[in-house]
Amino acid sequence: YTDPYASLLELINDFEQTISNEEFTRKANIIAQSRDLIKELTTQRSIRLAEEARALPPTHFLVLNLLTSLILSSYCLNVLPSIDRIGEPPNESSVIFGVLTTIYVLFYNFAD
């Protein structure tokens, strides 16, 4: 992989070495602006690539946590009336709770 910005900098360096001192003084401003522009482009590209590399923005985790708390609270409110005298929920409710917890853990770990 050849970086196009590095290639441009090499071209500018080669051009700078081949021109005479008199020509260099006339074109020094253009050469400096070209280098600054390439530096800014490289910075912007690295910022863009860093943003693209993120799996999910932090707001997705906030939404995921809020939905999880809603599911757990609604599950608890739904199971409370069906708890027996010992304090254990029915087996079906335990299985549903296990499935919901597994799905949550899988989504949370894969999203990170």
**Band (1; pLDDT cuts 50, 70, 90):** low
Q: Please say whether the beta carbons of 108 and 64 come within 8 A.
A: yes
Residue 55 has pLDDT above 80, yes or no: no
b/e burial code for range 99-111 (CB count within 10 A of at least 16 → b): eeeeebeeeeeee
The structure tokens listed for 58 are 């932090």
Cα–Cα distance between 100 and 69 in angstroms, integer?
12
Model confidence, pTM: 0.47
Q: Please say whether the beta carbons of 47 and 55 come within 8 A.
A: no
CA 85 → CA 56, 60, 80, distances in Å?
45, 40, 11
Which one has a higher pLDDT value, 86 or 43? 43
Q: What's the mean pLDDT when you consider all of the chain?
A: 84
The structure tokens listed for 79 are 């199971």
Cα–Cα distance between 89 and 78 in angstroms, integer?
11
Cα–Cα distance between 37 and 56 in angstroms, integer?
31
Rounded average pLDDT over 47-76: 81
Q: Please say whether the beta carbons of 9 and 38 come within 8 A.
A: yes
Rounded average pLDDT over 57-67: 80
pLDDT at site 112: 61
Residue 56 has pLDDT above 80, yes or no: no
Rounded average pLDDT over 70-80: 83
Q: Per-residue pLDDT tens for 15-50? A: 888 888 888 888 888 889 999 999 999 999 999 888
